[in-house]
Chain A
Amino acid sequence: ELKVEQNPLFLSMQEGKNYTIYCNYSTTSDRLYWYRQDPGKSLESLFVLLSNGAVKQEGRLMASLDTKARLSTLHITAAVHDLSATYFCAVDGGTSYGKLTFGQGTILTVHP
């Protein structure tokens, strides 16, 4: 059974600081996704990571994938208030017809 664990689950940051969210998963997979969710809203796709060593950046967010370590990271650089949201990683467990197993989510709050 594929398990996905994120940490931390809660992250309170000051504006301008850097931090990393970690996503560990339990079985082999080459497909990992990061989503953002604002309160009461749907999930917005941030990054799609499809191979070992993949790195993608968008603004102050950068995501990477290490399939050998079964680890993905979401790095936040110089946080701003607008980044406050819940972030989920999700793993496609191989030949599973696109079924996703999600982490618990990281609630990020950025303070002035």
Chain B
Amino acid sequence: NAGVTQTPKFQVLKTGQSMTLQCAQDMNHNSMYWYRQDPGMGLRLIYYSASEGTTDKGEVPNGYNVSRLNKREFSLRLESAAPSQTSVYFCASSEFGRGSAEAFFGQGTRLTVV
């Protein structure tokens, strides 16, 4: 079982470049999330999609956009990368509204902006 798959695993960008992080889940979950992890700060929510066709801002949305392409896929775009966006990015999915709503995480994307 693949679970949540993110690509790429590593990326180095120059300031001002753009890129899209891809995320796909095969658990038929309704809800998907993007978090970033910085040292000493835990994970912080960037954007989420409660269900297909909806997206909403989380705690730290500035500088990012998202697209819920279909039920399986949720992408995160950096339009003009800044050094402050150097971080590890995690995609997650859950079946909110049913049972435990436990979130499952992808392997992460380590992004460096120089």
Q: Decide if A45 touches B102 in the complex (CB within 8 Å).
A: yes
Q: Decide if B48 touches A97 in the complex (CB within 8 Å).
A: yes
**Chain A contact patch, size range:** 20 to 34
A-contact bits for B80-114, CB 8 A (1 contact / 0 none): 00000000001000101000111111111000000
Q: Which residues of A contact B40 (CB under 8 A)?
A: 9, 104-105
Interface residues of B (CB under 8 A from A): 31, 33, 35, 40-45, 48, 50, 56, 58-59, 90, 94, 96, 100-108
Number of A-B pairs, beta carbon distance below 8 Å: 61
- For the residues of A in contact with B, the DSSP-based class is strand
- How far apart sit A9 and B108, CA to CA, in the bound complex (Å)? 22
Q: Which residue in A48, A99, A103, A104 is a CB contact (below 8 Å) of B48?
A: A99
* Residues 6-33 of A contacting B (Cβ, < 8 Å): 9, 31, 33
